Amino acid sequence: MTDQNTAPQAPLTDLLDDYTTVPVPFGINTTGWQVAAIICAIGITLPAMVFGAFLSAEYGFATANLDFWIGCGMVAVLGALTAVIGSRSRLSTYMILQFPFGQKGARLVNLLMAVILLGWFAVTIEEFGIAVAAALDNMLGVSVSVWVCVLLGSIAMTATTIFGFSAVEKFSRYSVPLLALFLFYVAFAASGGGEGSNAIDFAFNQTDGSLVAVLTGAIGMTVLTAVLMPDFSRYCPNDKQAIIGALVGIGITFPAVLTLVTIPATRTGEADIMAIMAAMGVVFVALFVLIFATWSTNITNLYSSTLTISTFVPKLPSWQVTVIGSVIATVAALLGITAYFINFLILIGVAATPLAGIYVVDYFLVRKSGYQVEDLEQRPAIGIPALAAWVIGTVTGYMTEQGMFSLSGLSAVDALFTTSVAYFIIAKAMKTEG
């Protein structure tokens, strides 16, 4: 059997086979830097830009950025662990979850993840439609219905997603450098073009604010990427490449994007991303960035949701699953349901974070023997320890989010820690499940 650390590099040429329920062959690999580029593309998105601009305006440049880097660094460590599991097993996140949760138990988890991912696809495509329609009206005086922009954007993003991981990789390979250059340019111009006095005054403007509030936001914005890291790192040939993808992608590019956005936000005093770009005199280029940033993120959302839904209908071709998921999310966006869905997604986020803790503990501390797909048939259909720990952690996270009590001050961390400890104890106690 080919050793994963010496597996040859090969281009991702099989565009329509994403190995949803089987390990990725060792001859099909990518590098950690390419994985990091994809994660960077996820980070350069409209919700992230709005998030960074708002927190900078609310808490000040220094406080916001300190917490961006700390929060993303914490998530990157978790992402490195999940990435290693992906590179070693060569399995998608949703297959990995079947080991601790069982084949039937994992269906509940997969359903939750599908709802979250399609929900974010709907939220993002609706924001995309509103912003594009407004930009076209302001710049060209052309009145285009929001639903037209939503529909056309969804069709284009769906077509890109159908070509699988290879298309995502190739798309991010070209879009990320352009997006990064634009953000650097806007940040450079906003900071006074490199003039020393302006840069210093700007860097130390407004520093008071709530560290916990910004940290919570930074973790919540990025933690789903850590949970889903195996979807991307399974194409990495070894641990080193997987860790590079996670640490660079989540720990560096995510907070770097947020930092670049906060510079013009602080200078202009605006929290609305299009208003910021208008104040900087780059509205047309901003529209270009908006389109590609949203595109990069949403094809990743739809790609991951396709992997999830495919576990329910393994006989259905992945491209058909992609179309079905896109239609559901697009209808939700056209109906405006996402306006009421965001709070629900935030609540579900508390339940999604502990999932990474469960399979990290299961892989490194409980099972210790790796994941082989054929072993699933001998495993219990429902993993009681995982489900019990998940409930315990989710309830704990919800209670700390509501302020009933606090452990670390961060609800996501509380949920993750509680779930991990609970799973280890219960799994060890129930030897037949561990």
Q: What is the pLDDT of residue 108?
A: 87
Domains and their CATH numbers in the chain: 32-429 (1.10.4160.10)
Phi-psi region of 356 (alpha: psi -120 to 50; beta: other; left: phi over 0): alpha
Q: What is the pLDDT of residue 10?
A: 42
Q: What is the pLDDT of residue 200?
A: 36
Answer yes or no: are the C-beta atoms of 24 and 241 closer than 8 Å: no
Q: What is the pLDDT of residue 1?
A: 42
Rounded CA separation 85/233 (Å) = 8
The residue among 44, 15, 51, 11 whose CA lies nearest residue 175 is 44
CA gyration radius for the chain?
A: 21
pLDDT averaged over consecutive 10-residue blocks of the chain (434 residues)?
Answer: 44 50 86 89 74 78 86 94 96 91 89 84 86 79 88 90 66 69 82 51 47 75 89 93 96 90 80 71 74 76 81 82 93 83 66 92 88 87 95 93 86 93 94 53
The angle subtended at Cα 68 by Cα 235 and Cα 333, nearest 5°, is 70
pTM of the predicted model over 0.85:
no
Answer yes or no: are the C-beta atoms of 368 and 88 closer than 8 Å: no
Residues 259, 262, 264, 266, CA torsion sign: negative
* Residues in contact with 49: Cβ distance below 8 Å, sequence separation at least 6, in sequence order: 257, 261, 273, 293
Q: What is the pLDDT of residue 262?
A: 85
Q: How many CB atoms lie within 10 A of CB 377?
A: 8
Answer yes or no: are the C-beta atoms of 278 and 67 closer than 8 Å: no
Rounded CA separation 277/338 (Å) = 25
Q: What is the pLDDT of residue 204?
A: 44
Q: What is the pLDDT of residue 339?
A: 74
The secondary element (H helix, E strand) that includes residue 198 is helix 196-203
